[in-house]
Structure formats: structure tokens, C-alpha cells
């Protein structure tokens, strides 16, 4: 695809320039402040702020739109949020609380305080609490089963993928992923047909190659590896192409991969991270290091990069985006130290609204329907 860069010329504030806004609830994970905020798409006001645990990152919404799950990277847990009430329903561990350290020594505090009965490390490991503040195996990638009854969770530190039964919150199965060369951190998950794809990256920083590990969906047994760049950021299944799209965070490209190892690169801007499927075979790429987004158009075989800014000041470090329920807008999180949530009109590629959010925010999820 030929790449083109343009700057946003149109920047309108308020409803005058905005497309009509469906009544959506917007959930944003704030990695820097242990919380998730819930905004009303009409007013862009924060209606609720939910304290969930340390380093909330990836978000997924259940197929029935009733439940939101957030990976708590610093608390070895997932937060389960009731969408209707915007309340934390429960938290569950994604890996058992360890009794011993890696060197074999007993963690006496876990024994003394019966840490094994807790449902999140955040109960003890937090500001002013037990050290280290960030505890556990760093759950990061999330993937719901199509029926919404189980959740796959990948762990950066242990290289494990856990399957959690969402009715009981029990860890049903754990699969340890053997490293592919230096690539040992499972950073993202995607479902492609009857396969689960896992992006494995080497611990950063690194110039060693990463890999895409294909797993059998039913057994989670490995089916093979596909080579990729040194820092794969996110995965997006492209069912109509029979491929998986990976963002190559270390470069300025995203690449389509198939199971046979074919790779089709597409130009984005430096630091592509989040990937959002758009209508009409388009994909929105969040270009973290470039303060930009790139529109990939598979039908037109083109890409177009748009800088995010206002009055010459960039909206720094876009990470992830979510589609509005009418599929006419994308809600984009920019995760700089002054964070923003941007509404981008997909027909004009213009920012039509923005609101300040916490710095170091990460992901966004949209659930149709207004607050009651």
C-alpha cells in the first residue's frame, strides 16, 4: 500500500461538527491510577470511576454487553465490572498466589496472612502496602470465548496462558508457552478460525525476533510459529482474509500473516500499537510514537496517516481505540502524561471532540446504551 501522511485540518468542538452521537458508555483503563472511568458519550463526562487494581490495561466486553473485563497487570488479576451499574462485580486471580519465590524460599507473609484466599494481589500490594507494589505474573492479553463463558489470559512474566471459567472464576487450565528463541512474553491473543494466535516478544528492549504462536483452540496445543518483528504490539484477526494482522511496535509497519508464513507488510507511522477493525475492510492503526493514526484500506490497497493534534500541540501516544455503536466514530485513547479521549469521525478522519483523561491511560471499550 502506498503511504500518505496528512495533518488534521478540521478540528471542531462540540455537537456542531460532530456526527450524531449514539448513547454509548465508554470505559477507559487508567494504568497510572489503578482505575477505570466510565464516560457518557453524549456529555463526555465521567459518570463513574472504578478502583480496580494496579496497572489496568487491556479491556474486553462480553458478547452480551453486560460485563467488562480488565487485565490488572500489576495485581495478577482480572477485574469484572457490571456494565449496567458501572460497579466492580468481583476480581479473580489469573494465576495462583505463590507460596515460594523463584529461588525456593518461602514467602512467609503469604503464609502468615493467608494470601491464598485473596482474589487479587491488590488487597495487599498497593501504595503503602506490601512490597513490591506491582506483584505477580503480569496478566496482559485477554481473549473471550465466543460464548463469553471463558477467558484466556496471557502472562508476560511466566509465559503462561490461563483459561478462566467465568462462572466460577476458577483457573481451568494453564498452558506454558515455550519460548521461540528469545521471544518468551505472550503479549497479545487473537482467534483466527479454530486457532488461537499468540504474539510472543522478547523481553524489551531487544532486537531479537518475535514470533506468532498458533495454538489449537480446543486443546491449546501448539501448531507452529510464524516469525515476526522484535516487538509485536497487538493482534487483529482478519477473517475475511484468513490472516492475522500484527502491529510491529519497533518499526513503522503492520503486517498480515497467514498460517503458512506469508507476510504482507503495510506502512503505518512509527510505533504502531493498537488495531481496530473498521467497517468496509478498513483498519485503524494507533501510531504510539508518532502521535498519529493510520487508516488501512484493504479494498483500495492504501494507507493514510493522520497526525493527532490541536493548535500545533500533539495528542501524545495513542494506544487503543474502540468503535462507537453506530460504527461512525472511533474513540481513541492518547496515553501521554496529559491523556485525552478523542472522538474521530470515520468519514472525515477529523477529531470532532476531545476530553482530558488521566495520563498513562491505555485501552477503551464501548458498550451501547445510555446510563440509566
336 is a contact residue toward another protein (CB under 8 A): yes
Q: How big is the site for another protein, counted in residues (CB under 8 A)?
A: 40
Region at 122 (left for phi over 0; alpha for psi -120 to 50; beta for the rest) = alpha
Cell numbers placing 369: 446504551
The one segment of 11-19, 61-69, 160-168, 358-366 that binds another protein by CB under 8 A: 358-366
- Nearest approach in angstroms of CB 154 to another protein is 16
What is the nearest approach in angstroms of another protein to the Cβ of residue 133?
6
Cβ neighbours of residue 141 under 8 Å, at least 6 residues apart?
A: 58, 71, 152, 153, 154, 161, 186, 187, 188, 189, 198, 199
Sign of CA dihedral 170, 50, 54, 275: positive
The contact mask relative to another protein for 38-57 (x = CB under 8 A, - = no) is --------x-----------
Smallest gap, in angstroms, from Cβ of residue 271 to another protein? 6
Does residue 183 touch another protein according to CB under 8 A? no
Cα–Cα distance for residue pair 272/229, rounded to 1 Å: 12
Q: In this structure, are residues 246 and 232 in contact, taking their beta carbons and an 8 Å threshold?
A: yes
> Quick one: which of 222, 227, 314, 368 contacts another protein (CB under 8 A)?
314
360, 368, 369, 371: which one contacts another protein (CB under 8 A)? 360
In the chain, how many H helices and how many E strands?
Answer: 1, 31
Closer to another protein at the Cβ: 19 or 360? 360
- CA-CA distance, 300 to 304, in Å (whole number)? 11
Name the minimum Å distance from CB 106 to another protein.
Answer: 20
Of 203, 224, 239, 242, which one interacts with another protein (CB under 8 A)? 203
Question: Rounded to the nearest whole angstrom, what is the least distance from the CB of residue 190 to another protein in the complex?
Answer: 22
Does position 312 interact with another protein (CB under 8 A)? The reply is yes
| Closer by beta carbon to another protein, 33 or else 192 | 33
Using a 10 angstrom Cβ sphere, with 0-12 exposed, 13-18 middle and 19 or more buried, the burial of residue 250 is buried
Query: What mask of x and - would describe binding to another protein in positions 117 to 156, judged by CB under 8 A?
Result: ----------xx----x-----------------------
Site for another protein (CB under 8 A): which residue of 2, 16, 117, 313? 313
Using CB under 8 A, which of the segments 28-36, 212-220, 234-242, 320-328 binds another protein?
28-36
Could you say whether residue 113 binds another protein (CB under 8 A)? Answer: no
Q: Which of residues 220-279 bind another protein (CB under 8 A)?
A: 231, 250-253, 269-271
Residue closer to another protein, measured from CB, 33 or 159: 33
Give the integer Cα–Cα distance in Å for 372 and 370. 6
307 binds another protein (CB under 8 A): no
Check binding of 335 to another protein (CB under 8 A): yes
Binding span for another protein by CB under 8 A among 140-148, 168-176, 239-247, 308-316: 308-316
Q: Which residues, at least 6 apart from 2, have a Cβ–Cβ distance to it below 8 Å?
A: 267, 301, 302, 303
Q: Pairing state of beta strands 302-307 and 195-201? A: unpaired
The cell for 280 is 468496509
Distance CA 272, CA 179 (A): 24
Distance between CA atoms of residues 75 and 35, nearest Å = 12
**Three-state secondary structure along 57-124?**
EEEEECCCCCEEEEEECCCCEEEEEECCCCEEEEEEECCCCCCECCCCCECHHHHHCCHHHCCCHHHC
Which residues of this protein are in contact with another protein, per CB under 8 A? 30, 32-35, 46, 127-128, 133, 203-205, 207, 231, 250-253, 269-271, 288-290, 312-314, 316-317, 335-339, 356-361
Amino acid at each position: 500500500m502506498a503511504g500518505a501522511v496528512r495533518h488534521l485540518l478540521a478540528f471542531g468542538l462540540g455537537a456542531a461538527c460532530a456526527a450524531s452521537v449514539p448513547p454509548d458508555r465508554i470505559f477507559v483503563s487508567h494504568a497510572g491510577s489503578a482505575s477505570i472511568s466510565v464516560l457518557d458519550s453524549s456529555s463526555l463526562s465521567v459518570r463513574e470511576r472504578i478502583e480496580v487494581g494496579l496497572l489496568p490495561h487491556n479491556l474486553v466486553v462480553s458478547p452480551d454487553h453486560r460485563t467488562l473485563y480488565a487485565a490488572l497487570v500489576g495485581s495478577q488479576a482480572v477485574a469484572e465490572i457490571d456494565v449496567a451499574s458501572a460497579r466492580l462485580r468481583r476480581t479473580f486471580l489469573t494465576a495462583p498466589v505463590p507460596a515460594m519465590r523463584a529461588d525456593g524460599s518461602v514467602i512467609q507473609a503469604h503464609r502468615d496472612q493467608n494470601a491464598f484466599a485473596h482474589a487479587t494481589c491488590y488487597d495487599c500490594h498497593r501504595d503503602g502496602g506490601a512490597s513490591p507494589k506491582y506483584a505477580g505474573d503480569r496478566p496482559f492479553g485477554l481473549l473471550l470465548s465466543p460464548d463469553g463463558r471463558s477467558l484466556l489470559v496471557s502472562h508476560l512474566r511466566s509465559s503462561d496462558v490461563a483459561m478462566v471459567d467465568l462462572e466460577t472464576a476458577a483457573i481451568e487450565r494453564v498452558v506454558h508457552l515455550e519460548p521461540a528463541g528469545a521471544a518468551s512474553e505472550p503479549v497479545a491473543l487473537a482467534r483466527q478460525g479454530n486457532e488461537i494466535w499468540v504474539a510472543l516478544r522478547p523481553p524489551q528492549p531487544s532486537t531479537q525476533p518475535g514470533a506468532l504462536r498458533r495454538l489449537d483452540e480446543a486443546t491449546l496445543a501448539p501448531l507452529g510459529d510464524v516469525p515476526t518483528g522484535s516487538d509485536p504490539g497487538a493482534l487483529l484477526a482478519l477473517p475475511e482474509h484468513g490472516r492475522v494482522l500484527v502491529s510491529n511496535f519497533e518499526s513503522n509497519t503492520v503486517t498480515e500473516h497467514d498460517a503458512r508464513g506469508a507476510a504482507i507488510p503495510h506502512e503505518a507511522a512509527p510505533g504502531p500499537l493498537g488495531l481496530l477493525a473498521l467497517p468496509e475492510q478498513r483498519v485503524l492503526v494507533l501510531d504510539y510514537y508518532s502521535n498519529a493514526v493510520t487508516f488501512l484500506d484493504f479494498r483500495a490497497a492504501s494507507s493514510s496517516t493522520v497526525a493527532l493534534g490541536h493548535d500545533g500541540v500533539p495528542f501524545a501516544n495513542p494506544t487503543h481505540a474502540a468503535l462507537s455503536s453506530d460504527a461512525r466514530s472511533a474513540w481513541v485513547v492518547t496515553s501521554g502524561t496529559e491523556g485525552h479521549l478523542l472522538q474521530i469521525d470515520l468519514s472525515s478522519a477529523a477529531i470532532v471532540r476531545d476530553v482530558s483523561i488521566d495520563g498513562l491511560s491505555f485501552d477503551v471499550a464501548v458498550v451501547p446504551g445510555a446510563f440509566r
